[in-house]
Structure 1
Amino acid sequence: MEKKRVVIALGGNAIQQGKDATAEAQIQAVEATAESLAALIAEGVEVIITHGNGPQVGNLMLQQAASDSPATPAMPLDVCGAMTQGMIGYWFENALTKALRARGLEQHVASLVTRSIVDPNDSAFHHPTKPIGPFYTEEEALHLERTTGYVFKEDAGRGYRRVVPSPIPMKIAEHAVIRTLVEAGHIVVASGGGGIPVMETMDGYVGIEAVIDKDFAAAKLADLVNADVLLILTAVEHVYVNFGKPDEMALQETSKEQMETYIAEGQFAPGSMLPKVRAALQFAESGTNRVAIITSLDQAVAAIDGEAGTRVRLAPSLQQ
């Protein structure tokens, strides 16, 4: 039987839990995540792992700014994105190798610094929305806006964060390389932080100051590598409608049309669940017999087996 190919989009808590941003704490979080991923890989699934980097790239930008001088000039946002891709990818290479060996499995893990090609005329460049870095109080955010010129917005009731443009990825530059590695039996970590945003020129690619939404990048990558499943892992087992209300309902098997109705009703928070739902819809409609699943990390194996999570696919009448 042909192996199922799955692109996994990991949430931020897969790398950093709480406010402890030390390397040691983040490595521990990645190792715990790798344990769950290894259980999925042990099921014989072909896996491509994507991840966020919001806290990491935000902190790195602060470090760059604090040490900016003629001798040690600060690096731009796209370069910081590349740096955090390498750092987090390295952590996952080590953690996955360790977790797989504990199960008697020897598979190569490759982390690939990945570029996401965007349209330089994307309207997102005029409306920054993507949060990066740590949370601040309103007073702290106002002070930073005055002193740095950065834009800050309130993030889902959790505080204020810096926001940057988040254009839609049109293509993943390295998708053919990623697909070749997976077909050769390797595990790939790619499109970290949504990939480095670049625009195409006559001579190649040029980086742009932006951050790609990791879930949209994962959906685009899943399409390009012909994945069967896009597995978006977050903090909850299901997507909910009427969340936090007496008539709260967990969604299980649902269609593109149903999800679009819920979006129109304003059921999903723009800063948290809405991008995940939109990415799931994007993948579900990118080809026949494709399914997107939104669930928690600890339910990853059960979700692939159809026993957990919110599953999004085209309506049966639209399947061919």
Structure 2
Amino acid sequence: MAMSAKGLAAVCAGHEVALVHGNGPQVGLLALEAALYKAVPPYPFDVLGAESQGMIGYVIAQAMRSVLPGREISALVTQTLVDEDDAAFNHPTKPIGPVYSEAELAAIKAPSDWHFSPDGAGTRRVVPSPTPLSIMELESIQRLVRAGVLTICCGGGGIPVVVSGTAGAVRGVEAVIDKDLCAALLAIALGADHLIILTDVDGIYRDWRGPDERLIRSIGVTELQAMRFAGGTMGPKVEAACWFVRETGMPVSIGNLEAASAVMAGAAGTRVFGH
């Protein structure tokens, strides 16, 4: 995290920034721990999401304070509204937790209501991933960002909640929201002039891992929308990028976290632009 923080510091300097992070491995491990401890009922997934937000937000905030000593930093536990009738609840697709070999999968004795899907050379648990509709703490995030506070929020896409009944009661649901889609939703709502999606690859590739693989340095949203990408990896990032560009006309940069400053400047990664 210390190395990543140094790169992020250059991105944050002189800019109003909201920082969104993932939680897939962590929330999956928390769910596994909860399922294995039989003395009490396992915590519901929304609570595990809140746990992971607090944990990761704390780690990021500590790391960023070490490289931005004069910057005010706040980590905010965030809830994201979804539709209770979203079709995603019947079709789990979001990978969480570790990748299991066949032997490891048998050894963990997963609960019968867990779903799994192939992931590379192994298998990974998948959960519903409904579309994010709005961010419950948006006004608080807006005030923090406008005040110059580096705001860590919407971790893991936010805690998925629904509003039900005439009284508007809010309750959590068993799901994980895609962090990239939530980041795009937040960026649109904040009126951001640049969305930067940082990951562990150098950008968007044509013919990924194929004989004609090559990095796309710049691409229009119309051309990008016509391309196809793997659902659990680059696919959500491309979907989020296209959504943001269509809604705002502003650019999106996708690239390696370790080259964050160069990605923002357009010297590395992939830049997605409007018409």
| TM-score (ref. length: structure 2) | 0.94
Give the aligned partner of residue 277 of structure 1.
238
Q: Which amino acid aligns with 1:98?
A: S
Indicate which of 261, 266, 273 corresponds to 1:301.
Answer: 261
Structure 1 residue runs of 4 or more that deviate by more than 6 Å after TM superposition: none
The 3 A distance-change label for structure 1 pair 127 and 145 is farther
Q: Percent same amino acid among aligned pairs? A: 44
Cα deviation code 1:108-160 (max 9, x no counterpart): 110000011001111100100011111111344367677533111011x1411
Give the aligned partner of residue 274 of structure 2.
314
Q: Which moved more, 1:212-221 or 1:241-250?
A: 241-250
Cα deviation code 1:228-248 (max 9, x no counterpart): 111111112221111223322
Cα deviation code 1:280-306 (max 9, x no counterpart): 101111123x11111001221112222
Residues of 1 paired with 2:90 and 2:104: CA distance? 24
Give the aligned partner of residue 2 of structure 2.
31
Alpha carbons 2:76, 2:151 under 8 Å: kept: yes
Please list, as runs of the form range in 1=range in 2, the aligned pairs for 1:187-266 lying within 5 A after superposition.
187-201=150-164, 202-263=167-228
Give the aligned partner of residue 179 of structure 1.
142
Give the secondary-structure state (helix, strand or coil) at the position aligned to 1:163.
strand
Residues of 2 paired with 1:40 and 1:255: CA distance? 23
The 3 A distance-change label for structure 1 pair 261 and 95 is same
Residues of 2 paired with 1:46 and 1:260: CA distance? 29
Structure 1 gaps of 5+ residues are 1-29, 316-320
Indicate which of 79, 92, 97 corresponds to 1:115.
Answer: 79
Q: Which amino acid aligns with 1:119?
A: D
Give the secondary-structure state (helix, strand or coil) at the position aligned to 1:198.
strand
- How far the C-alpha of 1:73 sits from its partner, in A, is 3.5
Residues of 2 paired with 1:146 and 1:177: CA distance? 39
Cα deviation code 1:241-294 (max 9, x no counterpart): 11223322211121111112212xxxx222211111111101111123x11111
Alpha carbons 1:145, 1:152 under 8 Å: kept: no
Indicate which of 80, 93, 96 corresponds to 1:129.
Answer: 93
Give the aligned partner of residue 152 of structure 1.
116
Residues of 1 paired with 2:172 and 2:37: CA distance? 22
Cα deviation code 1:65-112 (max 9, x no counterpart): 22232xx442111000001101111111111111113xxxx1111000
- How far the C-alpha of 1:33 sits from its partner, in A, is 1.7
Q: Which amino acid aligns with 1:211?
A: V
The 3 A distance-change label for structure 1 pair 83 and 259 is same
Residues of 2 paired with 1:142 and 1:171: CA distance? 39
- How far the C-alpha of 1:176 sits from its partner, in A, is 1.5
Give the secondary-structure state (helix, strand or coil) at the position aligned to 2:208.
coil
Give the secondary-structure state (helix, strand or coil) at the position aligned to 2:192.
coil
Residues of 2 paired with 1:165 and 1:144: CA distance? 21
Give the aligned partner of residue 169 of structure 1.
132
Give the aligned partner of residue 62 of structure 1.
32
Alpha carbons 2:3, 2:258 under 8 Å: kept: no
Give the aligned partner of residue 12 of structure 2.
41
Alpha carbons 1:145, 1:151 under 8 Å: kept: no
Alpha carbons 2:253, 2:266 under 8 Å: kept: no
Give the secondary-structure state (helix, strand or coil) at the position aligned to 1:83.
helix
Give the secondary-structure state (helix, strand or coil) at the position aligned to 2:226.
helix
Once superposed, what is the RMSD of the aligned Cα atoms? 1.6
Residues of 2 paired with 1:195 and 1:172: CA distance? 8
The 3 A distance-change label for structure 1 pair 129 and 211 is same
Give the aligned partner of residue 51 of structure 1.
21
Q: Which moved more, 1:122-131 or 1:145-154?
A: 145-154
Alpha carbons 2:80, 2:157 under 8 Å: kept: yes
The 3 A distance-change label for structure 1 pair 313 and 145 is farther
- How far the C-alpha of 1:173 sits from its partner, in A, is 1.0
Q: Which amino acid aligns with 2:253?
A: I
Structure 2 gaps of 5+ residues are none
